[in-house]
Amino acid sequence: MTAITHRPAGVTPTQDQLLRFALRADATLCAGLGLFVAVAADPLARLFGLTATAAWIGGAGLVAYGAALYSAARLGGIRRVGVAVLVGNALFTATVAVVLASGALPLTRAGVAAALAFTAATVGLSWLQYLGVRRLA
C-alpha cells in the first residue's frame, strides 16, 4: 500500500522530507510515551507525585495528540502544520517551565526529572521541525 501525499506546487519531496520526518518522530514519541504512561498510570503516579487519574488522562492525551500529529504529517500544506506544531511546542515548553518554577504541581524529584527530560526531547524535535519549516520558506 502506498501513502499518497499532495504537495503544493513548487515543493519537491526532498524539501519537505525533514519536516515530515520531524513531525512523525514527534508523533511517535508522544504516542509511545503516552501509551506507557496510560498503562502504568498507578505506579508512575506514585513515583512522580501525581494522581493516577491525572497520569492516565495525560497519557491518553499524548496518545491522541500523537495520532493526530502523525495524520497531519501527511497533509499537503505541511508548512502550516509545521508552524502550528512549532508554536504549540514553544507554548508547551514555556508552560512546563512556569509550572516547574512555581511549584504548581506536587511533583517529586523523579517527576521533575521526567518533565525536564520530556521537555528536552520536545525542544530537540522542535529544532528539527524548525529546520524543516525553514527549508520550505
Structure confidence by residue, pLDDT tens digits, 70-79: 999 999 899 9
- Stretch 70-96: mean pLDDT, rounded? 96
Enter the C-alpha cell of residue 39: 498503562
* Per-residue model confidence as pLDDT tens digits over 21-53: 999 999 999 999 999 999 999 999 999 999 999
**Domain ranges, ordered by start, for the chain:** 14-136
Q: What is the CA radius of gyration of the chain?
A: 17
Neighbour tally for 109: CB within 10 Å: 10
**Residues in the chain, total:** 137
Enter the C-alpha cell of residue 104: 504548581
